[in-house]
Amino acid sequence: MAVKKFVVGCFDEEGVLFDAVKKVRKAGYKLHDVYTPFPVHGLDGAMGLRDTSLHTAGFIYGITGTTVALSSITWILTSDWPLNIGGKPHFALPAWIPITFELTVLFAAVGMVLTFCYLCQLAPFVKKHHFHERATDDLFVMVIECGDEAEITNFLKNIGASDVNTQVAETGWWFGRYDKEEKAIEYKNETVLHN
């Protein structure tokens, strides 16, 4: 697996981190990822991550579930083993809707969990590199792909990182890797309320 060198900057506060992310992107360094103790609203936008395609996958799994449910029940109850249930017609669509719904949800849910694990490269017994243990506790950890090590370290310190170090880590273990595509940085007009 490809091994890369990363510069890791730690931030104590969310507000500092937001500005830092914008500055890093403006300076043209390649963000690998940002690890936070909790989901930070709007950080994906600030990082310029494209929208995830997980929901498209979820939709496809969902309609797969719908199709599997409807076609299999139809085949079973109308041609393979027709049963007279309460004098209803063999093709008793209303009775099948709840099961169709269940299978739609089941396929979508399980499929999306597996896809999520694949995209995040999570699997049982796979050890992932932790850039900083406190990223799951109270520290915001920004990881940048290393170019000029000294320059990036300095830059991070200047924009408010409380601690900067360099680490070597594997970039992925699966076939291919999930590259986080970035959008060009854009500035929105922000509205402020005046009294």
Partner 1 sequence: MAIKEFFEIPKRYKTWSFALIGVGVLSVIIGFIMYGASENVHDKARFWSTMLHNSVYFLLVTNAAMFFICATTLALGGWQMSFRRVAEAISVAVIPLGIIAGLVLIALVVVDPHIYHWLHPEGDPILEGKSGFLNSKFFIIWTVLAIVLWIALGYKMRKLSRELDNNPLPNAEAGRKYIFKNTVWASLFLVWFGLTVMSTIPWFWLMSIDAHWYSTMYSWYTFASSFVAGMSLIALYVVYLKNKGYLEYTNNEHLHDLGKFMFAFSVFWTYLWFSQYMLIWYANIPEETVYFQSRITTEYHKGAYSFIFWATVIINFLAPLLILMRRGTKRNYTMIAVMAVVIIFGHWLDFYQMVFASVLKEHVELNLFDFGVAAGFIGIIMLATGNALSKYPLIAKNHPLTKESLVHHA
In angstroms, the CA 139 to CA 127 distance is 21
- The minimum distance between CB 53 and partner 1, in angstroms, equals 11
How many of the chain's residues bind partner 1 (CB under 8 A)? 16
* Residue 192 in the binding site for partner 1 (CB under 8 A): yes
Binding mask 114-153 for partner 1 (x = CB under 8 A): ----------------------------------------
DSSP 160-195: T-SEEEEEEEE--SSSS-----BPPP--PPPP----
- Partnered with residue 7 across adjacent β-strands are 144, 166
Q: CA nearest 11: which of 140, 152, 134, 133?
A: 140
* Residue 26 in the binding site for partner 1 (CB under 8 A): no
- The minimum distance between CB 57 and partner 1, in angstroms, equals 14
Residues that bind partner 1 (CB under 8 A): 41-42, 51, 55, 59, 86-87, 94-95, 97-98, 191-195
